[in-house]
Amino acid sequence: MTQRLTIRRPDDWHLHLRDGAMLAAVLPETARHFARAIIMPNLVPPVITGDDARAYRDRIMAALPEGLEFTPLMTLYLTESTDPADVAAAFADGIIHAVKLYPAGATTNSASGVRDLSRVRPVLEKMAEIGLPLCIHGEVTTPDVDIFDREKVFLDTVLDPLRRDLPDLKVTLEHVTTSEGIDYVREASGDIAGTITTHHLMINRNHMLVGGIRPHYYCLPVAKRSTHQQALRVAATSGNPRFFLGTDSAPHTDPNKESACGCAGVFSATNTMACLAHVFEEEAALDRLEGFASLFGPARYGLPVNDTTITLEKTDMPVVYPARIDTGEGPVTLFDPGHSLYWRVTA
């Protein structure tokens, strides 16, 4: 028996495309199913100014294969030397749609991130004034905090004080991984939302650590206990518009993932929609997939929903997805949910 589900074409509100040969290889994997994506700015060197964002957008569009339609929604990497006037001008010109806050040292290519929030106060005040969203990697990096507690401590010691101090600031807490993060986004007053990744809906820390270390499940924020995974699934399938899809699809070559000090990141662009259909079906919420993947994100960022659709089909036999994709920098392993997938995008 075949099941079919047609939804508005989705968007990805947290995506890593990298640059150069890697960009050319992974961009089609997203553009095949997604109309738009918020593009992460943590290149080397990072995308700091409006001119940087414009140039990166041009490189993305130059790498887009003929026949695919895709709109990159650019962001700036917040540093302690970011110019508020440049940020405001880039937003007014339609070059950027958000600014990204990386606590220094929190994740891949975050060394240029923020160590002292007081040093970026003028930028944040300008963003609150003009309605420019702040996308946050919500973890503390102090060495005395356990890596599994970094998100919870961030909520209490950084995010909540920041939002009380600047109540008009529009905040998106990205890749929420804990029940505490879900509770905060759901219950807090003011202008806040949260993105949830594909892989955090499908794995918990046991998948990464039991029976041997599986480096392709290693990501930051790191996967947490199964109780947190279940809280994410409840939130994603609830129909609450504060929660929407941000895959955090983040390609690294296999040698960089499988080394003695492997990189953090899960590449999921190719099979995200099949994985999401699987999760939403398990949660008896297929009718809410469109909201999570296609409707709530555009509303959050003040954009129209896409006027085209995609169709997902469920078949009796497992769908075969590639184990990895080849890039000019080396092979990149695709996220493996650990079980067969029966959904695919057909149109």
Active site residues: 248
| Cα–Cα distance, 276 to 343 (Å, whole number) | 9
Choose among 109, 86, 155, 79: nearest CA to 252. Answer: 109
Q: Give which of 200, 249, 254, 256 is closest to 229, Cα–Cα.
A: 200
d(CA 277, CA 78) in angstroms, rounded, equals 34
Compute φ and ψ for 135, nearest 5 degrees: -95, 130
Q: What is the DSSP string of 56-91?
A: HHHHHHHHSPTT---EEEEEEE--TT--HHHHHHHH
The answer to whether the bond into 221 is cis (omega within 30° of 0) is yes
- List the strands of the sheet with 3-8, edge to edge: 3-8, 309-314, 343-345
Element at 174 (helix H, strand E)? strand 171-174
Measured distance CA(302)–CA(321) in Å, rounded = 34
Compute the CA torsion angle 220, 225, 227, 231 (nearest 10 deg). 0
CA 150 to chain centre: 18
For 311, phi and psi rounded to 5 degrees? -120, 130
